[in-house]
Amino acid sequence: MKSCKGFTLLEMVIAIAIFAVIATVSYASLSQFLDTYEYLTQRGEKTKGLQQTFALLAQDFHYSADRSVRDEYGDRQPAMIAVAVNLAEVGEIVRLTVSGPDLQVPTASRLTRIAWRLDQGGRLYRMTWAVLDRAQDSAAYSRLILEGVDALELKFLTVDRNNQVQTSNEWSGSQGRPGAVEALLTLSDKRQYRWLFEVGNG
């Protein structure tokens, strides 16, 4: 019977070295895979947030309605308003009346008051009131739409009597509603997205 020979010290050292190399390469590959997965996941979430922001803004402006409201103090507010002196202190960008059902608030009427708000932490919210003419205890439903937002700037487009396009950074509502709205979204990484929305005739 032949005797079984074990590994020599040199063979053991070589085997351990090979195993160490394989383990190092495998760990590096796994780490790279996890980093790539995390990056793609974050990018996918950001893309989803951008798509949702675009879709909701497009919906709100397209289905905007020419219906003024009363605020919690009984003061009349225009159907659409975006005046910095009135809204900047609370971070609101625009308020408008939107027609059609709103799935965020099951008890909402067909006409719904909407506001877009950007807080100091870079979080963009869409706010909804279940009633148009509010009382002082009327609460808003606030939904987080997108994070990492540096600014959301709106330009309101109209056509004058000479068929020339006029733009304004504010909208007082005294002239009804604009024909279109241009939105410039700036993220915290300084990437910018420019969109143009049609304003409906409701």
Q: Where are the domains of the chain?
A: 60-198
Chain CA centroid to CA 169, Å: 20
CA separation for the pair 73, 38 (Å, rounded): 48
Q: What length does the chain have?
A: 202
pLDDT in tens, 70-109: 888 778 888 898 876 555 556 789 999 998 755 556 655 5
Residues 6+ apart with CB under 8 A from 148: 46, 122, 187, 188, 189
Q: Say whether pLDDT at 63 is over 60.
A: yes
The residue that leads in pLDDT, 102 or 187, is: 187
More confidently predicted of 20 and 68: 68
Instruction: Check whether 33 has a pLDDT greater than 70.
Output: no
